[in-house]
Amino acid sequence: MYVKGVNLGNWLVLEKWMSPALFEGTTAEDEYNLPRQLSREVYEARIRIHRSEYITERDFVSIKAMGMEAVRIPVPYFIFGDREPFIGCIRELDQAFNWAERYGLEILIDLHTAPLGQNGFDNGGICGVCRWSQEPEEVEFVLSVLERLAKRYGTRKELWGIEVLNEPITENAWKLMDVPNRYPAADPELAKGSGPNSLEFLKEFYCRAYDRIRQYLPEEKYVVIHDGFELLAWKDFMREEKYVNVVLDTHQYLMMAEAAGCAQELEAYKAYIEEHFKKDIREMQQYFPVICGEWCLFNSLACGCDTKGGQSVLNGVEGSSEERVDAEEKKRIYRAVAEAQLDAWKEGSGYFYWSYKLLTDTVNDRGWIGWDSWDLGRCVDFGWFEEK
């Protein structure tokens, strides 16, 4: 098994930096606070228009033409429309399955958010709040969502697998990302008691999730677990015979390498990819099929400035306001890091690029130069990314 795919980020789970216009007229930094700052009518109109236009049938045609075989679709915990004030999106996922069937793509459903947050990131739906694992009833709610997804799509030919939960953060990453300061909570009261999830909790949760999902998911479909940013911590996990076709997902970004001290130089990036990404995936592939479920070409060198570990204009970090790296040099950097990373993923069982597209205007809006490398469509068009 080797899968080549791309994420449909910012479609059913919003990320402000990928589509700033959706948040206009508010101070909301995340999906939790957006409907709390807009009238019901305005919120509903924005969301429905966004979902109907951001990803369409045409995009599935384009993704197939890029040489991709699968899409990873982040979905929110309120996908079934049972958590006010949010609007469910099961209809959109149904459409995606029909498009995938028509154009020969597979789908990895990725539960991307949890109530009260599993990481405190903006992409977890609520900045600075990470209390989900402390609330047994919300843990149970997430298990029920996974069960319902498995029941609805388990026997669909296009289903590649179900990812139990995206990026539940553990202690080292919580410190490295400095979550409370990087993603300040809009409501400090709501954030009280926030902190990383323990590996012990995650292991127990993954076992429970596996049992709930497998009730409806045929054994040939994959159950995907995220490494919690601790790739090497799972060697003794799920060794029992009952656990079949479990895939370990790791997210490897050069911006996190920079945050961990990697120099912002091409040779340093290549060495880091070799010594960490490639070596660790090779080691863990002996225990699980390992996919790199999120990665991209983004790096500070090609941006022409220090992005402080991938912090954007929205984090208050000033980006380049003019191009400091000429087009040929930029292409050289991106092609080199693309080749090195694709080579690293070959030690495992595949990858999903983050992300298929974004609606950030990297030309007219100050400070976003270099952020177009998060957009696979642009990377392909510019000749930065070539899947061999």
**Dist. CA 289–CA 342, nearest whole Å:** 16
What angle (nearest 5°) sits at the alpha carbon of residue 338, between those of residues 378 and 102? 55
Residue 303 has pLDDT above 80, yes or no: yes
The average pLDDT across 273-280 equals 97
Domain chopping of the chain, boundaries: 1-251, 252-274+294-343+352-388
Buried b (16+ CB within 10 A) or exposed e, 93-132: bebbbebbeebebbbbbbbbbbbbbbbbbbbbbbbbbbbb
Distance from C-alpha of 67 to C-alpha of 78, rounded to nearest angstrom:
32
- Confidence at residue 317, expressed as pLDDT on a 0 to 100 scale: 79
pLDDT surpassing 90 at residue 323: no
Q: What torsion, rounded to 10 degrees, do the Cα atoms 195, 201, 206, 211 define?
A: -130
Alpha-carbon distances, residue 198 vs 133, 157, 231 (angstroms) = 9, 35, 14
What residues does 74 pair with on adjacent strands?
Answer: 110
Confidence band of 206 (pLDDT split at 50, 70, 90): very high
pLDDT beyond 70 at 207: yes
pLDDT confidence of residue 44: 97
Q: Check pLDDT > 90 for residue 129.
A: yes
Q: Are the beta carbons of 215 and 153 closer than 8 angstroms?
A: no
Name residue, tokens 């790199």: 292
The average pLDDT across 202-224 equals 98
Burial class (CB in 10 A: 0-12, 13-18, 19+), 215: exposed
SS3 for 32?
A: coil
**Does 320 have pLDDT greater than 80?**
no
- Is residue 243 within 8 A of residue 171, CB to CB? The reply is no
Distance in angstroms (rounded) separating the CA atoms of residues 20 and 56:
20
The predicted structure's pLDDT at residue 36: 97
**pLDDT score for 388:** 66
pLDDT in tens, 53-87: 999 999 999 999 999 999 999 999 999 999 999 99
Burial of 192 (0-12, 13-18, 19+ CB in 10 A): exposed
pLDDT of residue 269: 98
Average pLDDT over residues 352-372: 93
pLDDT computed for residue 315 by the predictor? 81
CB contact set of 130 (below 8 Å; sequence gap of 6+):
116, 117, 118, 119, 120, 124, 169, 174, 179, 194, 195, 196, 197
pLDDT above 80: residue 314: no
Distance of CA 89 to the CA centre of its chain: 18
Provide Rg for the chain, Cα atoms.
20
Beta bridge pairs of residue 111: 75
Query: Residue 252 is which amino acid?
Result: Q
Q: How far apart are CA 75 and CA 113, in angstroms?
A: 7
Q: What is the predicted pLDDT for the residue at 318?
A: 80
Least confident of 51-55, 131-135, 136-140, 357-361: 357-361
Cβ atoms within 10 Å, residue 25:
10
Q: Please tell me the distance from the alpha carbon of residue 124 to that of residue 20, in angstroms, as a whole number.
A: 17
Distance of CA 4 to the CA centre of its chain: 15
Averaged pLDDT for residues 338-363:
96
* 318 closest CA partner among 335, 300, 334: 300
Strands (E), 70-141: 70-75, 106-111
Show the tokens assigned to 382: 């510019």
Comparing 2-16, 143-157, 233-247, 317-331, which segment has the lowest mean pLDDT?
A: 317-331
Residue-wise pLDDT for 37-51, tens only, equals 999 999 999 999 999
pTM of the complete model: 0.98
Tell me, what amino acid is at 310? G
Structure tokens at 21: 């216009």
What's the rounded Cα separation, in Å, for the pair 238 and 225?
11
CATH code at 1-251:
3.20.20.80
Among 339, 225, 356, smallest CA distance to 277 is for 339
Mean pLDDT value across residues 237-247: 97
Q: What percent of the chain has pLDDT over 70?
A: 100
Is the separation of the CB atoms in 193 and 145 below 8 Å? no
| Rounded Cα distance, 5 and 230, in Å | 23
- Mean residue pLDDT of the chain comes to 96
Using a pLDDT cut of 90, give the percent of the chain over it: 93
Under 8 Å between Cβ of 353 and 291? no
